[in-house]
Structure formats: structure tokens, C-alpha cells
Amino acid sequence: MGVPLRTAVAALCAGLVATFLTTEPARADPREHTWTVSGPGAHQPAARIRLDDTTGAVSLSVTRGGRTVIEPSPVGIVTEQADLSKDLRFLDRKDRRIDERYRTRSGKRLDRRVRMNETRLSFATSTGARLDLVVRASADGVAYRYVLPGGHGDVLGETSAFHLPADAPAWLGTYRVDNEGQFVRYTAAGAPTGEYSDQALFETNGGYTLLAESDLSGAYSGARLAHTQGTGTYRIELADDRIDTDGPLATPWRAMITGDLATVTRSTLTDDLAPESKVPDTSWIRPGTVLWTWLAGGREAGQSLAAQKAYVDYAAERNWPYEAVDAGWYYKPGAWETVDPDWQTNSWMPELVRYARAKGVGIVVWIHQRELDTPEERDRWLPTLERWGVEGVKIDFMNSEAQPMLRWYDTVLAETAAHHLMVDFHGSTIPKGIQRTWPHVMTLEGVAGEEKRTNTAAHLTTLPFTRNVIGSMDFTPGAFHRVGLRPNSDAAEVGLTVAYESGLQMFAGTPQSYDQRPLARAYFDQVPAAWDDTRLLAGRPGEEAVLARRGGDRWFIGGVYAGAARTAEVPLDIGAGRWLVETIEDGADGLVRRRQVLRGGDTFAVDVVAGGGFASLACRWRPGITTCHR
């Protein structure tokens, strides 16, 4: 005879509780209706949770150094069986400390240390419906999630929201299904009524707070922010009106990365909150720079073996590890977006892969999501690409964060990992912790990148503090040939390869444009695509962003600016001692390079043109050292 359902559910819930806890639960004080969860150490961010005696509603606020950065904001979730946003009574509290180390294959910092304090508060309604609110606090922010036992029915929505001071400066991107809205500065209350990306940045009480999400999977639904002009409130709105659930549920984390701008930029909180890697052997996952041929050659290049071989030759000459073949390669010759039914036997891709491999270049291929939509399609495509020796896939046009598409992500992530295919998602969700759990995800678009013809310099200087904080970003810099279609200078375009982090850093220009700019080309030969450390040297969203990233014993520095020409002052905060610094900037007749020996902590000046920038390479100086290039 089977185990009774009630017994099975009780056992499952008990197992979940045991998994979450490492210490004995604290005794609940029936008079206690306010709780505080602080990050480890002094002056850390802290969450204050309060249960209202009258309404039974729970709210959460965030402070940092005693200053309020998120005002008391509602938390709660509504299911088919219960409204868990009101009429709640407190049951108990349990605490634990999290101390973890992990290593990534790409990102702003490969070695990670996670130290958080966690509190789990249990509530129930008068009818016995259960809600656990799990809150974590670390040095760089606060996050919370809801945990529900089984039997609660489908989720109908959240009452979660964030209350910001009305006059707080805000950098917001209008929500789009492809997450390609441009970031624009408003005030928290002054932003127009509408939906915004959940990666929203606010300047609050002497610091910054970036809203984010982590551990999003097909168990739930993607979030965006809904706002009504005239208020400082940003409500969580889900992509689905109803979320299908079966059994216990842990929702994604609602994260608030907070601190000074350097802390926000350096944060790995969304990765730290995510589940550990599901890929046991990651040795085949290799970040690198990529010669991307779409903006360079368009449709014609995608349907030409000869053109692709020429691109491979160029990548091999430059020692660039990858070449990416974009749309067209599996279409019927002379036809556009018509799949050749015999692509497996007719394709020239195996010949290209063999040709490239002999020259030390790996091949990444574009593929439309509709070709991988069903199990039968994936069984046809993925093993074939692996057998040919393709190293990565650029999957395009998901354009949804609804639960069915997120379940597709779960499936395709496991299957691409099984076939040793690195992944670049376009027309996609944004990282949200995905790169810790699935480290073969090298980069995601989810950004108004180089392909866009309406970008502004202000947008470019906001991305390092918003979209790129939460994970790799496939902006595709280096499109020197698109003069007049981009808002920045050539030196700024070089600087983007450092200012923007991407595990596959796709260079978007033509070989001819690189050859016409040998200083840029030589810099691209040196720049890594994974980093040992990242530091913000100077910045203000919408105005300037200067980031230093370390690869081995060298620091690469990228600066991008909006506004009029100026002389920028850059602090060389990369360590004590003497450094040889080679800087590429805009000159009267093109790019110029300047070498100087500086001490760590010195400030050096860069002449920046309107919408300009620079790129530097710094190495330890000693007598006889004349260049940092290798």
C-alpha cells in the first residue's frame, strides 16, 4: 500500500527544512514581530523584516551603515489556495551562516568567496497555509525568496515591491522580451508609467542599490518591474498570469546589491545566490576572444565557405581562439531563412571546422531557437554539431521569460553541456545566476548592443553599473567600420573590450577595419575574456566608466565617457609599486599610444574626445621593460 499523501508531503517538507538548516532553530518569541538580518562584519547591509500586528502583512526594508536604502516594502505571494501577503501569524525563526568558495570559468573574478547570514522566518494563515521567508545578507547586498510546501496550488502572483525615495536618481531600461531596452536616467518617482527591466539602479542615501534576480528556472516565471509615475514604488510583475507548480516551491531570489559604486560594480551576489555548478567536468569550457562575422560580412558571409575560411585565416594570424559563423550557414543556398532539409549531409560546416582546427581556431555557430525546440530537433542538431567538432552555439530568438520558455532553457542547458557545447544566448533572458549553475554559458545578449543604431554614449556608460554587473554581456564591441552608427570614438570602442565583460568576447568589426587601426588590433591580440580581478577606478552612470581588470600579472583598463571633450583624471588603483602603462587614445589623425611609468595610486590624465574613451595595459616596470605586450 502506498504512503499516504499527507505523510509524503510532511516527509518532503521535513527534508527541505533539514537541507536549509545547519544550526538549531532559535526559539520564537510570540511578542517578537521585527527581525534583523545583517551581513557578516561591521557596517554591512541589513534587512529589517516586520510583521504588522493589525493586517498580518510582512514588509522588508534595507539599511547600510545605519542609513535606509530601501524603504519598508511589501513581501508576499498569492497562490490558488491562499493569499500569503496578509493575515499571517509568526511561527518560528531559524538562522544559519553560509561560507562557501567556488571557481568559475569566466566572469569578472574567477575565484569567489561567499559569506552570508541567513534567516528563515516561518508564517502561517489562520487556515494553516504556510509561508517561509528566507532572507540573506552579505557584504554587497540583501536578498529574499519565498519557500512554500507542497499542496499550495499554482502561483497567481507576488505582492513583492520596492519602495525608493521619490527623488532618488534612477537608471532604468524599458522592459522588452529580448531585454534590449536602453538605460535612461530618471528619478524614482519621475520615471514614466510602464514596465522596466528588473536590473534597475538607484542612488540612495549616499550609495547605490541595484535590483536584480537570481536562481530563475522553469520552476517559476521571469520578473520585471511595474511602475506608476509619481510614486517611488516598483512592483514585481511576472511574465505568467499563472505559474504551474507541483510540490514544494522555492521562488527566485529578489536581490538588492547595495554599497558604493565600486561595491556594486564588483559584486557577484547574483551568482553567489545561485545553485552550484551542474557540470561536473568543466575542463572543456574555454573563454576567449572571437572574430564575429555578422556585422563584418552579413548574410553573404553566412552562406559562403570561402568567406568563412578567410575569417578563420585572419583569426589564426592574430591568435584569436574562435571564429563565429552567424545566420545562413544551414539555409538553402541563395535562400534566406529556409532551412536546407539535408543540412546534415550538404553543409560545408564540417570542412570549415577541420580547416579551422588545423589552424588552432575553434568554431562557434549561430542557430535559431526554433531548430532546438523539441526533443527530436535537439537530438538531430546537438550530437551532429558535437561530432563535427563545433565548440559553441549562439542560440537566438527565445524572446520570452515565461515559464514554458524557462523550462526549455533548463532542458537545452543540460543537453548542450552533455554535448560539450559552450553557449551564447541572444534574444534572451539576462544572466540571473545562470553562469554559476551552468558554467558553459559564456555570455548572453540581453542588452542594446553594437547592432543597435540608436545607442547613446550615456547608455554605454551606464551598462557597467547595471546589465553587466549581474553577468557576462555580449555587446560585441570593436565595430570600427560602423562610423556614424555608433555614438563613441575609436578609442572608446577599444576600451569597451575591457569595460564590458563577456566570456566569449565577440569582436564585431571587419579585418580591414582592424588592419587600418594596428594599435587597436594589437590590443585585441592581448585582451583576455576571463579575469582574475575587477576594480572600478572611476565612474558615474551615464557619464563615465573606467574599469580595471586583471589577467595574470597584467591589468587592462577600459574607459568610456559621455558628453563633451575633456581631460579625464584616472586613479591607478591597481597596487603599489611602479607600473608601465601603455594607453591608446584618440589623436588628431587616428589612434595614438602613449607610454609612461607611474606608481600605484598615482593619477594619470587622458585626453578624451566627445563620446570618447581609452584603453590601457599596465605591467610591472623594471629597467629594460619597454612594452607590456607579449
Rounded CA gap, 130 and 121, in Å? 11
Q: Residue 93's Cα: distance from chain center in Å?
A: 32
Choice among 83, 154, 410, 451 that is catalytic: 451
Rounded CA gap, 381 and 391, in Å? 13
pLDDT one-digit tens code per residue, 402-414 = 999 999 999 999 9
Q: What are phi and psi of 266, to 5 degrees?
A: -80, -15
Final residue belonging to a domain, choices 500, 526, 552: 526
Choice among 158, 178, 272, 396 that is catalytic: 396
Residue 601 lies in a domain: no
- Indicate the DSSP class of residue 454: S
Q: Single out the residue of 321, 258, 266, 315 nearest to residue 289, CA to CA.
A: 321
H/E segment holding residue 510: none
Q: Are residues 296 and 244 part of one domain? A: no
Q: Among 33-42, 391-400, 443-452, which stretch is predicted with the lowest mean pLDDT?
A: 33-42
Residue 630 lies in a domain: no
Q: Are residues 299 and 232 part of one domain? A: no
Q: Are residues 391 and 430 part of one domain? A: yes
Rounded CA gap, 292 and 312, in Å? 10
Rounded CA gap, 86 and 253, in Å? 20
Q: Are residues 198 and 329 part of one domain? A: no
Residue 219 lies in a domain: yes
Rounded CA gap, 426 and 224, in Å? 18
Decide: 485 and 453 in contact? Cβ < 8 Å: yes
Residue 533 lies in a domain: no
Residue 347's CATH number: 3.20.20.70
The pLDDT-based confidence of 299 (bands split at 50, 70, 90) is: confident
Final residue belonging to a domain, choices 273, 308, 339: 273
Q: Are residues 513 and 366 part of one domain? A: yes
H/E segment holding residue 499: helix 490-499
Decide: 143 and 269 in contact? Cβ < 8 Å: yes
pLDDT one-digit tens code per residue, 246-263 = 899 999 999 999 999 999
DSSP-based three-state secondary structure for 362? strand
Q: Are residues 352 and 257 part of one domain? A: no
Q: Are strands 422-425 and 392-396 parallel, antiparallel or unpaired?
A: parallel
Residue 327 lies in a domain: yes
Q: What's the full length of the chain, in residues?
A: 630
Residue 588 lies in a domain: no
Amino acid identity of 500?
Y
Q: Catalytic annotation on 525?
A: no
Decide: 183 and 171 in contact? Cβ < 8 Å: yes
Domain that holds residue 116: 5-273
pLDDT one-digit tens code per residue, 552-583 = 999 999 999 999 999 999 999 999 999 999 99
Residue with the bigger pLDDT between 214 and 336: it is 214
Q: Catalytic annotation on 167?
A: no
Rounded CA gap, 357 and 321, in Å? 10
pLDDT one-digit tens code per residue, 425-484 = 999 999 999 999 999 999 999 999 999 999 999 999 999 999 999 999 999 999 999 999
pLDDT one-digit tens code per residue, 356-395 = 999 999 999 999 999 999 999 999 999 999 999 999 999 9
- Please report how many Cα atoms fall inside a 13 Å half-sphere around the Cα of residue 530, on the Cβ side: 18
Decide: 542 and 461 in contact? Cβ < 8 Å: yes
Q: Are residues 419 and 521 part of one domain? A: yes
Residue 252's CATH number: 2.70.98.10
- Indicate the DSSP class of residue 275: P
Cβ of 95: how many Cβ atoms within 10 Å? 16
Q: Are residues 331 and 467 part of one domain? A: yes
Q: Are residues 178 and 226 part of one domain? A: yes
Tell the residue number behind the cell numbers 572611476, with chain if given: 538
Q: Single out the residue of 153, 176, 161, 142 nearest to residue 237, CA to CA.
A: 161
Final residue belonging to a domain, choices 485, 500, 526: 526
Decide: 293 and 323 in contact? Cβ < 8 Å: yes
Residue 575 lies in a domain: no
pLDDT of residue 1: 35
Rounded CA gap, 168 and 202, in Å? 6
Q: Are strands 392-396 and 233-238 parallel, antiparallel or unpaired?
A: unpaired
pTM, entire model: 0.93
Rounded CA gap, 263 and 260, in Å? 5
Q: Are residues 295 and 265 part of one domain? A: no
Q: Are residues 344 and 224 part of one domain? A: no
pLDDT of residue 439: 98
Cβ of 571: how many Cβ atoms within 10 Å? 14
From the number of C-beta atoms within 10 Å of its C-beta (0-12, 13-18, 19+), residue 310 rates as middle
The pLDDT-based confidence of 32 (bands split at 50, 70, 90) is: low
Rounded CA gap, 479 and 475, in Å? 11
Cβ of 181: how many Cβ atoms within 10 Å? 19
Residue 360 lies in a domain: yes
Taking the chain, what is the end-to-end CA distance rounded to the nearest angstrom?
Answer: 71
Query: 7 is written with which cell numbers?
Result: 505523510
Query: 518 is written with which cell numbers?
Result: 594596428
Q: How many domains in the chain? A: 2
- Indicate the DSSP class of residue 213: E
Rounded CA gap, 30 and 86, in Å? 18
pLDDT one-digit tens code per residue, 204-240 = 988 999 999 999 999 999 999 999 999 999 999 999 9
Q: Are residues 172 and 97 part of one domain? A: yes
